[in-house]
């Protein structure tokens, strides 16, 4: 497993209902290490817990803040197990890793299992914005994501973007609203 620069490891699993509903590979991972933030904030694997709220897998899988409630391309059975520094999401659908491009709401099948994703997650992460943010003296704390303005999918982004650390829930809400407006 190539998870480097781990800045947070989740608490003991405290949500047995979530654990029992997970695919085997993800469940075993969370039983050993209940999620984490790695690559200096470039990858957040959520945990089976209620607190901290930003780390809770259940919060983005079920209920009013669930990704399937916010994005048409996300199905209720998709397990939103991870996100990158800008808020793109990694989902398990039929035990295959799917990436949700959060600005546009598009999904792409990466053709990997959870175990394959763990062996080389850096290959699919967008780390350049985080590296740029770090080079400007910024750091992401656990529970934060990068706000990107203007959004990457706009023509204006070609001229450069500004980056700021914001609470993860604020970024996720913005991205869902933005993707909905694009549709």
User: Among 51, 96, 103, 48, which residue's Cα sits nearest to residue 75?
Assistant: 96
Query: Any residues with CB less than 8 A from the CB of 177 and at least 6 apart, and which?
Result: none
b/e burial code for range 78-88 (CB count within 10 A of at least 16 → b): bbbbbbbbbbb
| Bridging pattern class, strands 96-101 and 89-93 | antiparallel
Whole-model pTM: value is 0.94
Q: What is the mean pLDDT, run by run of 10 residues, along the chain of 183 residues?
A: 85 93 96 94 96 96 92 97 97 96 96 90 84 95 96 93 97 96 88
Distance CA 78, CA 151 (A): 25
């Amino acid at each position: 497993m190539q998870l480097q620069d781990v800045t947070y490891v989740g608490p003991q699993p405290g949500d047995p209902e979530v654990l029992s509903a997970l695919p085997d590979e993800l469940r075993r991972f969370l039983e050993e290490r209940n999620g984490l933030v790695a690559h200096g904030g470039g990858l957040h694997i959520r945990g089976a817990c209620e607190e901290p709220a930003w780390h809770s897998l259940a919060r983005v899988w079920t209920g009013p803040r669930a990704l399937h409630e916010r994005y048409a391309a996300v199905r209720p059975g998709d397990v939103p197990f991870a996100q990158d520094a800008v808020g793109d999401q990694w989902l398990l659908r039929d035990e295959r890793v799917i990436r949700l491009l959060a600005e546009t709401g598009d999904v792409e099948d990466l053709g990997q299992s959870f175990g394959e994703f763990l062996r080389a997650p850096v290959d699919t992460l967008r780390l350049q914005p985080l590296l740029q943010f770090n080079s400007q003296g910024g750091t992401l704390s656990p529970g934060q994501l990068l706000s990107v303005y203007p959004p990457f999918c706009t023509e204006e982004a070609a001229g450069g973007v500004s980056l700021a650390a914001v609470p993860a829930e604020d970024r996720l809400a913005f991205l869902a609203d933005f993707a909905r407006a694009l549709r």
